[in-house]
Each structure stands twice: as structure tokens, then as C-alpha cells.
Amino acid sequence: MKIAILSRNRRLYSTSRLVEACTKRGHEVRVLDILKCYIDIASASPAIWYMGEKLEDFDAVIPRIGASVTHYGLAVIRQFEMMGVYSLTESIALGRSRDKLRALQLLSRKGIGLPKTSFAYNVHDAKELIKLVGGTPLVLKLCEGTQGRGIVLAETQKAAESVIEAFRELRAEFLVQEFIKEANGSDIRCFVIGDKIVAAMERTAQEGEFRSNLHRGGTAKVTKLSPTERRTAIKAAQTMGLHVAGVDLLRSARGPLVMEVNSSPGLEGIEGATNKDIADAIVAFVEENARPNANKSRGKG
């Protein structure tokens, strides 16, 4: 197969591991910087050009799209779909998962457990917003934040009101969520491929920090999932329409709660914690499913 990996940096761990897995399994692989692709929309047949070269004959693309280039990345993925090329992450699924509010609405509609969440664009009464999630302590999240950035823990009413006021002054869109105390600064990253969980790790925040992201100094170890946690993670990924996803769960007194469904989950932490070859499993899934015009999106997203 001829596979393209859409990534801005081939030296990133996840990108390099996918290249390695493709090569090991006998495929021709190429890393394409998404921002160096340009799209031919006006012609009779859709096309993508890359640094003066027309991209042709690809069997599949594996998107590794950073949050900062989501809008353009979606356009490029849609164009590949219009060309009949199989995309591991479909454009509609990527768009859903990157819109935190939309993602939560879809998960809620499917009855998936979530932290109590409230949202407003122009908050005139912060007290009402705080009351909707059960009061303080609570967590405030910028809708555009990733890897733990743009997340604030407000432990008192006054602190929460101050942060809400600051976000409002910045005209920022944000979510207000209940703080799950019993999680004890830990969450579960479930790595879903297709309809299976291939690996899971428990991430724990470093002392004095409530965010468990490994980029924030958190630690990770293998964990065993309950049947309910497995079902929740798989259902969350399927609700987004993602074939590969990192589903983050909190263990609460009322069962597993989905914090986020990540459409470009990193491989370094999960492979290091579980000692599993996740990259190889991803490429194996592409082999089994890639065929012309296989994506449901087909450029419509």
C-alpha cells in the first residue's frame, strides 16, 4: 500500500513510530506537512498538490493533525476523501472531536457518563453558571485548549467568579465542569482502535497539580479496565465516528465519566506505559479497512 501520514513534524515520536510500522509491514510511506498541501478545487477532478507535485495513487492517509491547524487540516482530509482515498480519521469525526462543546452534546445524547458541564458565551451571572455544576471546587476549560493548557481549577466561589470574568473579558469560549474529587488527580487513557481497546493506562498528576497530562509531569502505569469502563470508552469513540481514539475517563462514585475523546492520541506515553506496539496495530487496522471511497464522510464534513 501507499500510505501518507499527515504530520507537520516527521521527528515527533508518534509520527516516526507510524513510519516505522508502515515500513516494517512492507508499505510505501510518506510524511506530508499539512500546511504545505494545496488544494485544486475548481478543476473537474479534485486534486491535492504538495510543493509542486500532484499527489496521486495513495491508498490511505493517517492524519496526525494538531489542534492549531484543525481548520486547514479538515479541508485537506475532505479533499483526500473526495479523491476516494481512505482516511483513518474521517473529516466529520475529526471536526466533532475538536469541538469540545459539540462532542459533549453528542456524548450526552447517547447517554454516556459525563461530568456536570455548563457553557455560556456571554455570562452575566457567574453564580448561576457555577450553580449548574454543583458549586465549587470546579474546573474551567477553554474550548480551544489541548494537553492540559487552558484548564483552571477554581477551589472557591470567589476564584471561580474571577476566572469566569477574566475569560469573559477575553471573549473566550469556555466550559465549566464539576470537579471529581474521588478521582484523586488521576484519569484513565483508553486507546481504542476499531471496536477494541488495545491498551489502557492510568495517569496521575504530580504533587500540587490536578492535571494528569504526561506533558504536565504526570506519571503513567498500566491499569485494568472494568467491563463498564470498556463499554463506555468504545461507545464514546464510536459516537464521535473515530476509528482510532484516546478516550479519557474519570473514575467517579457514579461510574466512569468521559472527559475527552482525542482524535490524534499520542503514542509515546501509552506505548511506554504498556509496552505494546500501538503503531503496528494502527497500521494493521488501515490494511484491513482501506479501500477506495470507504469513508462515510466522502468530503461532505
Query: Is residue 155, in this structure, part of any structural domain at all?
Result: yes
Task: Assess whether 121 and 212 both reside in one domain.
Answer: no
Q: What are phi and psi of 227, to 5 degrees?
A: -55, -40
Q: Contact at 8 Å (CB) between 209 and 217?
A: yes
The whole-number pLDDT of residue 148 equals: 56
Host domain of residue 140: 117-179
Question: Is 24 within a domain?
Answer: yes
Q: What is the CATH number of the domain that holds 50?
A: 3.40.50.20
User: Is residue 173 assigned to a domain?
Assistant: yes
57: pLDDT strictly greater than 80: yes
Q: Do 53 and 121 share a domain, yes or no? A: no
Q: In this structure, are 221 and 150 located in the same domain?
A: no
Residues 195, 172 share a domain: no
Query: In terms of pTM, does the model score above 0.85?
Result: yes
Distance CA 18, CA 268 (A): 11
Based on the fold, state whether residues 191 and 203 are members of the same structural domain. Answer: yes
Whether 197 and 256 share a structural domain = yes
Same domain, 71 and 141: no
pLDDT computed for residue 38 by the predictor: 94
Identify whether 111 is part of a domain. no
Q: Please state, for a pLDDT cut of 90, what percent of the chain lies above it.
A: 73
**In the prediction, which pLDDT does 210 show?**
58
pLDDT tens figures, 199-229: 999 998 776 555 655 555 578 899 999 999 9
How many separate domains does the chain show?
Answer: 3
User: Which alpha helices (H) appear in the chain, and where do they start and end?
Assistant: 13-24, 70-82, 91-98, 100-109, 126-132, 157-169, 227-240, 268-274, 278-289
Measure the CA dihedral 126/128/131/136, to 10°.
10
CATH number at residue 239: 3.30.470.20
* Domain closes at, from 179, 205, 221: 179
Same domain, 191 and 130: no
Residue 97 lies in a domain: no
Is residue 145's pLDDT more than 80? no
For 202, residues 6+ apart whose C-beta sits below 8 A from its C-beta are 186, 187, 188, 220, 221, 222, 223
Q: Indicate which CATH number applies to the domain containing 121.
A: 3.30.1490.20
Alpha-carbon distance of 76 to 82, in angstroms, equals: 10
* Domain end (from 179, 198, 227): 179
Give 231-273 pLDDT, tens digit per residue.
Answer: 999 999 999 999 999 999 999 999 999 999 999 999 999 999 9
Task: Tell me if 65 is assigned to some domain.
Answer: yes
Residues 200 and 261 occupy one common structural domain: yes
Is 294 a domain residue?
no
Q: Does one domain contain both 32 and 82?
A: yes
Is 102 inside any structural domain?
no
Please check whether residues 196 and 222 belong to one and the same domain.
Answer: yes
